[in-house]
Amino acid sequence: MAELLTAGVVGTGMYVPEKVLTNADLEKMVDTNDEWITSRVGIKERRIAAPGETTSSMGAAAARAALADAGITAAEVDLIITATITPDMPWPSTACFIQRALGATRAACFDVEAACTGFVYALSLARNYVATGMYRTVLVVAAETLSRITDWEDRNTAVLFGDAAGAAVIKAVAPPAGILATHLGADGSKGELLEMPGGGSRHPTSHETVEARMHFIRMKGNEVFKHAARAMAHSNSEVLAKAGITIDQVDLLIPHQANMRIIEAAARLSKLPMEKVYLNLMHYGNTSAATTAVALAEARRDKRVGPGSLCLLVAFGGGFTWGACLLRL
């Protein structure tokens, strides 16, 4: 077999909708308050897609920014992988819609569904396609319109989620830059703790499924909470061990942005000080697969990290799924 190439991130981009929904706005919608949301979760506001916006339109906006950042055209893209649990529709894939919006006519397209871990899963796939030489330029897009599957009458979940998109261009790079290692995990036996049960082959859409509010996110938050920090810390140690890197060499931890207390616990278990942890959940809430993609794009844009920086992305979500990606820019 030919020698493997080193795949790395050569461009990033992000998009968030204009509309801001604050905790004060939510106080008028459900029985909640800013103090509870801030202290229990850490979110102050989130973005909500406008009526005409979709996962693919936001994903295409983030993708255009990532392509511009990488200095490449849509025509050069060989493959588009979209990570989402809120596709434009069950099929065609959201990646196909993004291809059409970009005019990336040479690209193969598919979606990855790994809930909040979707961006990490998609990066792992992109890395392998580039490393083996099968594709030269892979566009990874993580985009979510969670506002469309949020039950705005359920205070347990309504305060948590938002809409956003992030994207990254993956190409062969010269070491020491590149994706150094990835680690992926899953536990399907815990699926019902975090799910959207309606609309698939198990519960096809019917008046009954809609009346039972089965097309909204359902989460046993405190059960999920128990697993999230430990799984993320586990992924961190696995990926670091694979790469032969120690935690103190990491410049920035980019964790899935679901809950400040989960992030703090994961950082503590991984023995990483909070100064090295990227946080933006106060501005955007939990945007599932998009959180880590948006955070990486923001951290690069704001020069929090730059060429040579060692970034550790880690996530946990429905499935359960979890995973980490160690990346030198």
Beta bridge partners of 145: 163
The residue from 203, 209, 225, 269 that contacts ligand ACO (CB under 6 A) is 225
Phi, psi of 168 (to 5 degrees): -145, 145
DSSP states along 152-195? TT-HHHHTTB-EEEEEEEEEE--TTSEEEEEEEEE-GGGGGGEE
Kindly name the residue from 23, 96, 109, 116 that is annotated as catalytic. Answer: 116
Query: 325 forms bridges with which residues in the sheet?
Result: 182, 313
Q: Which of 23, 236, 259, 286 is catalytic?
A: 286
- Does the N-terminal peptide bond of residue 51 adopt cis geometry, omega within 30 degrees of 0? no
Residue 286 in the binding site for ligand ACO (CB under 6 A) = yes
Q: Tell the smallest beta-carbon distance from residue 1 to ligand ACO (Å).
A: 36
Does position 240 interact with ligand ACO (CB under 6 A)? The reply is no
Q: Provide the minimum distance between the beta carbon of 176 and ligand ACO in the complex, in angstroms, as a whole number.
A: 32
Q: How far is the CB of 267 from ligand ACO (least distance, A)?
A: 15
Q: How far is CA 253 from CA 7, 234, 274, 305, in A?
A: 20, 14, 9, 11
Q: How would you label 291-328 residue by residue, b for 16+ Cβ within 10 Å and e otherwise?
A: bbbbbbbbbbeeeebeeebbbbbbbbbbbbbbbbbbbb
Active-site residue, 96 included: no
- Give the number of residues written for the chain: 329
Closest-CB residue for ligand ACO? Answer: 221
Among 222, 244, 302, 307, the residue binding ligand ACO under the rule CB under 6 A is 222
To the query of whether residue 286 is one of the catalytic residues in this protein, the response is yes
Q: Does 184 bind ligand ACO (CB under 6 A)?
A: no
- Pick the closer one to ligand ACO by CB: 40 or 215: 40
- Which amino acid is it at 244? G
Give 317's strand partners: 321
Stretch that binds ligand ACO, among 92-100, 223-231, 237-245, 301-309 (CB under 6 A): 223-231
C-alpha atoms less than 13 angstroms from C-alpha of 152 in its C-beta half-sphere: 11
> Is 53 in contact with 84 (CB distance < 8 Å)?
no
Q: Is 314 in the site for ligand ACO (CB under 6 A)?
A: no
- What would the x/- binding string for ligand ACO be over residues 100 to 139, using CB under 6 A? ---------------xx-----------------------
Instruction: Tell me if 262 contacts ligand ACO by CB under 6 A.
Output: yes
Q: In the numeric block, which tokens belong to residue 141?
A: 């897009």
239 binds ligand ACO (CB under 6 A): no
Q: What does the alpha-carbon distance between residue 130 and residue 124 come to, in Å, rounded to a whole number? A: 10
Closest to ligand ACO by CB, 40 or 304: 40
CB of 61 to ligand ACO, least distance (A): 22
Residue with tokens 């295409």: 60
d(CA 70, CA 104): 15
Question: Which phi and psi angles does 71 have, rounded to 5°?
Answer: 70, 35
Residue placing its CB nearer to ligand ACO in the complex, 37 or 181? 37
Binding track over 22-51 against ligand ACO, x by CB under 6 A: ----------x---xx--xx----------
116 included as an active-site residue: yes
> Residues 234, 256, 259, 311: which is the catalytic one?
256
Nearest to 14 by CA among 60, 70, 54: 60
Active site residues: 116, 256, 286
* Binding residues for ligand ACO (CB under 6 A): 32, 36-37, 40-41, 115-116, 155-156, 159, 194, 221-222, 224-225, 228, 258-259, 262, 286, 288, 316-318
